[in-house]
Amino acid sequence: MAQIKSPEELEKVRQGILSGRDPSKPSISVCAGSACLASGAAEVIAAFKAEIKKQGLEADVDTKGAGCPGFCERGPVVVIYPEEICYLQVKPEDVSEIVSSTIKEKKVIDRLLYVDPSTGEKAVHEYDIPFYKKQMRLVIGDNIKIDPKSIDDYLAVGGYSALGKVIRSMTPDQVIEEVSKSNLRGRSGSGFPAGFKWESCRKSEGEPKYIICNCHEGDPGAFADRRLLEATPHTVLEGMIIGCYAIGAAEGYIFVGDEFPQTVENARLAIKQAEEYGFLGKNILGSDFDLTIKVYIDGGGYVLGESSSLMASMEGKIGEPRTKYDHATDRGLWAKPTVLNNLQTWVNVPLIINQGADSFSKIGTEESTGTRVFSLTGKVNNIGMVEVPMGMTFREIVFDIGGGIRGNKKFKALQAGGPMGGFIPENLLDLQVDYEEMKKAGLAMGPGLIVADENTCIVDMVKYYLTFLANESCGKCTPCRDGLRHMLKIMNRITEGRGQKGDLELLEILSEVQKSAALCALGQGASDPLRASLKHFRDEYEAHIEEKRCPAGVCKVLSTALNI
């Protein structure tokens, strides 16, 4: 493929791709995301290709491994086009029947459809499944249609049209103005306005300028960001390219962990394809805009999700936070102006440019616009990746999208924001997904939502997070290094039946000191799960200490002592 030299040529290439595709031709999309691959999706794809060849249908049927559509609980997910028939938990032994019945005879196989557990109704199409009905899948909606390894698939659904629009008719200042008008807030926990950050970097003195896409995502139980990059790497690239154009950067980085091999592979391949098509490199789409983007493999430590630690790691230094005398937009990577945004911030940029800031800002709430992608996991029926409009309540996410609690157990809590987040008890489930509302409730907008049921011990869950954070602390500052380990020592004592009067008060004092005195956001937020649990589930702590009893029967020493 020759490089595309102009926005007009880009549209011609897109039309050429579309003209070579027959929308009425049968097509089989099999989710090839990490979760579905773990459930046997690769074997299903191989079985489809072998069966289609066996039946002499190679010229008549297309088969592809597609991006994650989100319903991880029921993978491998298969969607048959053009009818959009959705089959769940497909196995290689189902393939022959699907090809013979659905592809050749247009018959639906009932046993492979989603069945509503409460009504018994079957859902033929993906959009009829309750898991999807209340979602607003603006970012991930095309995942099942696109092979992440195919730039042509991305172009076919309108990919890089936002970049073409920017190069053709927008100045850098106009791009920043549009992002600012949209009120897009960084999709990390802070929710800092993206447009303001971009404008600050553009106006900052110093060259070169850099941008970084943070796909570190080290939270236990979180997989939304890595799955997005894995499923739609070109959307991430397009957002980053537009961001570089806006702030005047000639170099960008995707910061991601090598523990996500498929994510890294897809990102690197997307960069190579974008270079071949002329979306990266010299004179992008015939303009005077030059850009290179590289994948940077992080060092694996949780603290590297903190901005200054991340940049220190990229500079070849120890990955630990530094005192922020300057904003990164003035002195960031290699002491140069830098924009660091979460991956979910970048994937929203093409959407804003294509549909306009006014349209985007009408989604969600006044303070928090657009959608948010979460990984929903824990003791919930429908585990997966979900995309919801800002302003939706957590009750709707857990019970309408998540399908309620497994085994008809009682809901106990929703843990939001990962190891630096908090707990949402049942009486706060109507809280909205909104930066300001969550901040008021002492919660962080992290990528993961973990559901706890009546058989979950909140004390044990907090101990797990403190153990994780104590191991992941870089050890640079005393409040984090020593504070976490002292809190963990007390928590271990409580769960082993050796809790003492005054332990809870001491934990509260330690958590307050850590919150105010730790050097970086990790240390400052590390005690948040403990603080939230003491506020909402203090009775569980008291049962462990005063009655030497674990109400959930989880803490082994106490459970054994009581013959539970």
**What are the structure tokens assigned to 327, written together?**
């904003």
In this predicted structure, the answer to whether residue 1 has a pLDDT above a threshold of 80 is no
In a domain, 2, yes or no: no
Residue type, 195: G
Query: Which pLDDT score is estimated for 378?
Result: 96
What's the average model confidence in pLDDT over 377-396? 96
Do 396 and 491 fall within a single domain? no
Do 193 and 90 fall within a single domain? no
Query: Which pLDDT score is estimated for 394?
Result: 97
User: What count of other Cβ atoms lies within 10 Å of the Cβ of residue 12?
Assistant: 11
Query: Which pLDDT score is estimated for 558?
Result: 64
What CATH number should be reported for the domain holding residue 528?
1.20.1440.230
Do 171 and 294 fall within a single domain? yes
The domain of 28 spans 24-133
**342 vs 188: CA distance, rounded Å:** 6
Query: Which pLDDT score is estimated for 523?
Result: 86
In this predicted structure, the answer to whether residue 254 has a pLDDT above a threshold of 60 is yes
User: In sequence order, what are the beta bridge partners of 86?
Assistant: 79
What's the average model confidence in pLDDT over 432-453? 90
**73 vs 59: CA distance, rounded Å:** 33
pLDDT tens per residue across span 44-80: 999 999 999 999 999 999 999 999 999 999 999 999 9
Going by C-beta distance under 8 Å and a sequence separation of 6 or more, which residues neighbour residue 318?
Answer: 312, 474
Query: Which pLDDT score is estimated for 559?
Result: 52
| Residue keyed to tokens 């049962």 | 543
What's the average model confidence in pLDDT over 339-366? 96
The residue among 432, 372, 421, 389 whose CA lies nearest residue 187 is 372
Pinpoint the alpha helices (H) of 356-457. 357-361, 394-395, 435-440
Residue type, 213: C
Question: Dihedral of the CA atoms 24, 28, 29, 32 (nearest 10)?
Answer: -160
Do 168 and 264 fall within a single domain? yes
Number of domains in the chain: 4
Give me the chain's average pLDDT, please: 93
What angle, rounded to 10 degrees, do the helices at 478-495 and 458-472 form?
150
Do 205 and 290 fall within a single domain? yes
Query: Which pLDDT score is estimated for 322?
Result: 86
In a domain, 484, yes or no: yes
pLDDT band at 432, cuts 50/70/90? Answer: very high
Give me the DSSP letters along 273-296: HHHHHTSSBSSGGGSS--BEEEEE
Extract long-range pairs of 149-155: CB within 8 Å, 24+ residues apart: 149/65, 149/266, 149/269, 150/64, 151/234, 151/270, 151/273, 151/274, 151/277, 152/17, 153/64, 154/232, 154/234, 154/235, 155/13, 155/14, 155/17
Q: Is the peptide bond before 261 cis (omega within 30 degrees of 0)?
A: no
In a domain, 198, yes or no: yes
What's the average model confidence in pLDDT over 204-233? 93
In this predicted structure, the answer to whether residue 510 has a pLDDT above a threshold of 50 is yes
In a domain, 145, yes or no: no
pLDDT tens per residue across span 165-175: 999 999 999 99
Do 407 and 555 fall within a single domain? no
In a domain, 366, yes or no: no
Q: Is residue 177 exposed (0-12), middle (13-18) or buried (19+ Cβ within 10 Å)?
A: middle
pLDDT band at 219, cuts 50/70/90? Answer: confident
In this predicted structure, the answer to whether residue 184 has a pLDDT above a threshold of 50 is yes
In this predicted structure, the answer to whether residue 259 has a pLDDT above a threshold of 70 is yes
Query: Which pLDDT score is estimated for 562?
Result: 45
What is the DSSP code (8-state) at residue 130? H
Do 239 and 385 fall within a single domain? no
Query: Which pLDDT score is estimated for 501?
Result: 93
How does strand 338-342 pair with strand 210-215?
parallel
Do 175 and 319 fall within a single domain? yes
Q: Choose one of 330, 360, 390: the last residue of a domain.
A: 360
Reported as type and span, the H/E element at residue 367 is none
Q: Is the peptide bond before 479 cis (omega within 30 degrees of 0)?
A: no
Do 318 and 189 fall within a single domain? yes
pTM of the model: 0.95
Q: Choose one of 411, 434, 453: the last residue of a domain.
A: 453
In a domain, 375, yes or no: yes
Do 116 and 175 fall within a single domain? no
Query: Which pLDDT score is estimated for 564?
Result: 43
pLDDT tens per residue across span 387-430: 999 999 999 999 999 999 999 999 999 999 888 889 999 999 99
Distance from the Cα of residue 69 to its chain's centroid: 13
pLDDT tens per residue across span 101-146: 999 999 999 999 999 988 889 999 999 999 999 999 999 999 999 9
Work out the percent of the chain whose per-residue pLDDT is above 70: 98
Do 89 and 197 fall within a single domain? no
Do 398 and 382 fall within a single domain? yes
What's the average model confidence in pLDDT over 161-182? 97
In this predicted structure, the answer to whether residue 291 has a pLDDT above a threshold of 60 is yes
In a domain, 12, yes or no: no
**What are the structure tokens assigned to 337, written together?**
């102006």
Give me the DSSP letters along 529-542: HHHHHHHH-HHHHH
Higher pLDDT, 84 or 560: 84
pLDDT tens per residue across span 473-488: 888 889 889 999 999 9
What's the average model confidence in pLDDT over 486-505? 94
What CATH number should be reported for the domain holding residue 414?
3.10.20.600
In this predicted structure, the answer to whether residue 42 has a pLDDT above a threshold of 70 is yes
What CATH number should be reported for the domain holding residue 258?
3.40.50.11540
In a domain, 5, yes or no: no
Q: Choose one of 312, 341, 360: the last residue of a domain.
A: 360
